[in-house]
Each structure stands twice: as C-alpha cells, then as structure tokens.
Amino acid sequence: MHFDMVIAGGEVIDPGTGRIGRFDVGIRDGRIAAVDRALPTGQAAQVVDASGQFVTPGLVDLHTHVYWGATFWGIEPDPVAARTGVTTWLDVGSSGAYNFPGFRRWVVEPSQSRVYGLLNISSIGLTAPTYELANLDYADVALATTVIGQNRDVLVGVKARIDALTTRGTGIEPLRRAREAADRVGLPLMVHVGKGPPPLDEIISLMRPGDILTHCFTGHSNRVVDERGRILDYVKRAWEEGLILDIGHGSGSFSFATGEAMLAAGYKPDVISSDIHQLSIQGPMFDLPTTLSKFLALGMTVPEVIERATVRAARAMGKPELGTLAVGAVADVALFQLEPGNYTFHDVFMVPRSAKERLVNTRTLRAGQVMAPTLEQPLHTWAHR
Ligand SMILES: [Zn+2]
C-alpha cells in the first residue's frame, strides 16, 4: 500500500474515534488513508518517527482573533499554526458586516490553515478594543443575516460581546438583536461574558442549546460560580439543556480560582480555546498548547484536554468532520511532546500554579502538508505592554 507519509510509532490520541494508543497513521492525497497498529512503511514516500510523542488531530481553536491588520486584536494565523498544532481557527467576531469582505479576501482565502468565522452582530466588528455595541445603529440584524446568508461557507454563527464596556448604555438590547440574527440564520450564537452589567442571568436567559458561552471560567462579576465556589443553578440548568461552555482564556478571562472550583465539583468545560490575540499572545495565555497544559496542571488528562480542543470544538462549530483522525478525514495532524520540568503557569490575575509537564507542539500538518515555520509579524504599536 502506497502512502505519501506514515507517522510511525506515536501515541495516537483521537477522542473522535475513541482510538487512543500506539498506532501508525498513513496519509495519502491529503487525507488519512489508514490507522493501524503497524503500517507497512516500505512504500511510504516519507516516514516520520513519532516515538515518544502524541499524535493528535490538528487542534481546532474555537475562540481566536486572526483578522490581522484591520482590527485591534488580530494576529496572523499561519505562523502560530505551524508552532502550536492549531489547523482550524474560528475567528469570533473580529469582522462585522462592514469589514467581513476584507476578512474573507485577506485572511480566510490565502491562509494555509483553515479559518472560519462568527460574524459580529456589530457591523464594525472588533476594529477597536471595545464599545462596538454602545451604538445600536451598528447592531443591524437585517444586514448581519444577509452577509451570513451570502457567506455560509465561512460564517458558522453569530458573535456578541456582552459586558459593561461593549454595551455601555445599551443594556441587553444588543444581545436581543444577536439572538434574533442567530435565529433567522439558524446558526449558533457565541456570547462573551466578563464584567456586568448586563448580569449573567439575563444573558443566559437569551441563550439556547447549542449556543456557546465563552469565557466560562472568568473571574469577573459574571462568573459561573457563587462566592463559595458553587456553580449557579441557572447556569447548571442551561448547561444540562445543551449550552456549550467554552474557556476563551484571553488576557482577561481565565481564573484558576473559578477553574479549580468547577473542576473540584466535577464540572469540566466542554471546549478549551485560547482567545489568542495581540495582547494574550504576550502571556500569560501565550497559545493553545500552553492553555491545555494549564488544564493538565488542574488535573485533567491528556485525552480529556485534546478532546476539548479537537472533536468537541469542531462539533460546536457545526463541522463534525474536522478534529479527527478517522480514515477519510482531511489529514490535519499535530505532534506533541509532553515535556517534563518545573513550570509555573499564571491565570489572567497573575495567580501562579506549578506544573510538572507541558505540551509542546513539534510538527503540524495541514491536509497532509507540513506547515513550515514562518516569521511572525511584530506586535502592533498599541499592543506593547
Ligand atoms: Zn475574544
């Protein structure tokens, strides 16, 4: 049997198929052609020795900002993909209706990594750091639904940032409009929470099963646990009914205290995403493998964190064919080393936790092609801290 590449001898972690253990992965024509205990390597054009490493589906990052050069937050996806294993990026609301055409033409189309988007209910998107919903004229439901309707190959849902600054003076009305847009196009709504008002109960009451609550382990006023660290009843109810809880670490939205309270009570997040952008890439978030390593430090297992950054993220964005090494799937693959050492990770409040291991990406394949390391753009003038 001919293969373009065989990734041999690695520890496969593919929660989507349930395949976890020592397997060889054969790739042909950009797709997974075979996964077996021992594949014949004689006719393989290339053999990659993965012994001592994890072989996972390319990571699917459910919360990112990759609209470089036209928004406050955006970074370039490909250089980061090549060194982190992220092969699919969901850009959440960097573009709104007015600047979506540029996002499509200058980011989605030329990128080697795969980029999808959620359209911001604010037609100016995230051009500026905040206040995008403080002017209701920008929350144009008809325009947003038209743009989504014309770009369903790229746009998989609606995004709204609902916190005290983004909505300053407009209350819950922007979220009502985002709800209406999502209902009209029949796609999920991702809502960012942080500091209220609006308060969390009012926000959750407008969310539905299949919607995504991002920044779910925030330490700010709209956190999902009470003063004593117990999950709020209405959050638990909405979660049980199918609301998706997503991490979105970012520069302001991950608290070890909230995370530890939730995990101690047996509540693991549905999806672990980075919220990578101009500020968070400088730390303490850094990148998705670092974020996953923090959850290892909190006691989750490697298969558990990989599941939440591959197949579960793919399902949440309505792309169940991604985030898996199933035979026939596109060969988006990542290799990781679990490096032992003495590490200190920080949450966004610079609270430290020590760890004995971290996940380090060693190779990233997109549709069977190794992604070459490329130079990253320097940070924008406003992002230096
Ligand atoms: Zn974000």
**5-56+328-370 domain in CATH 2.30.40.10?**
yes
Q: What residue ranges do the domains of the chain occupy? A: 5-56+328-370, 59-316
Beta strands in the chain (DSSP E): 5-14, 19-28, 31-36, 47-49, 54-57, 59-64, 86-92, 114-120, 155-161, 189-192, 212-214, 244-246, 333-346, 352-366, 369-370
Distance 92 CA to ligand 1 centre (A): 6
* DSSP-derived secondary structure letter, 376: P
Distance 250 CA to ligand 1 centre (A): 7
The pLDDT assigned to 92 comes to 98
State the pTM of this model.
0.98
Superfamily name with CATH number, domain 59-316: Metal-dependent hydrolases (3.20.20.140)
Element (H, E) at 148: helix 141-150
Distance 63 CA to ligand 1 centre (A): 6
How far from chain centre, in Å, is Cα 98? 24
Distance 280 CA to ligand 1 centre (A): 10
Distance 277 CA to ligand 1 centre (A): 7
* DSSP-derived secondary structure letter, 377: P
Distance 325 CA to ligand 1 centre (A): 28
Q: Is the peptide bond before 77 cis (omega within 30 degrees of 0)?
A: no
Distance 192 CA to ligand 1 centre (A): 7
Q: Quickly tell me which residue has 């109960």 as its tokens.
A: 201
Distance 251 CA to ligand 1 centre (A): 9
Nearest to 92 by CA among 217, 211, 243: 211
Distance 162 CA to ligand 1 centre (A): 11
**How many whole angstroms separate alpha carbon 32 and alpha carbon 343?**
35
The pLDDT assigned to 385 comes to 72
Distance 214 CA to ligand 1 centre (A): 8
- Beta bridge partner(s), residue 97: none
Distance 247 CA to ligand 1 centre (A): 10
Distance 275 CA to ligand 1 centre (A): 5
pLDDT tens for the chain, residues 1 to 385: 899 999 999 999 999 999 999 999 999 999 999 999 999 988 899 999 999 999 999 999 999 999 999 999 999 999 999 999 999 999 999 999 999 999 999 999 999 999 999 999 999 999 999 999 999 999 999 999 999 999 999 999 999 999 999 999 999 999 999 999 999 999 999 999 999 999 999 999 999 999 999 999 999 999 999 989 899 999 999 999 999 999 999 999 999 999 999 999 999 999 999 999 999 999 999 999 999 999 999 999 999 999 999 999 999 999 999 999 999 999 999 999 999 999 999 999 999 999 999 999 999 999 999 999 999 999 999 998 7
The pLDDT assigned to 1 comes to 80
3-state secondary structure of 156: strand
Please list, in sequence order, all residues whose beta carbon lies within 8 angstroms of the beta carbon of residue 55, skipping any fewer than 6 positions away: 7, 10, 11, 12, 13, 23, 25, 325, 333, 334, 335
The pLDDT assigned to 343 comes to 97
The pLDDT assigned to 384 comes to 87
Distance 122 CA to ligand 1 centre (A): 14
**Torsion from C-alpha of 329, 104, 117, 289, nearest 10 degrees:** 70
Distance 374 CA to ligand 1 centre (A): 24
Distance 285 CA to ligand 1 centre (A): 12
Distance 268 CA to ligand 1 centre (A): 20
The pLDDT assigned to 335 comes to 98
Q: Is 85 exposed, middle or buried (0-12, 13-18, 19+ CB in 10 A)?
A: buried
Distance 377 CA to ligand 1 centre (A): 20
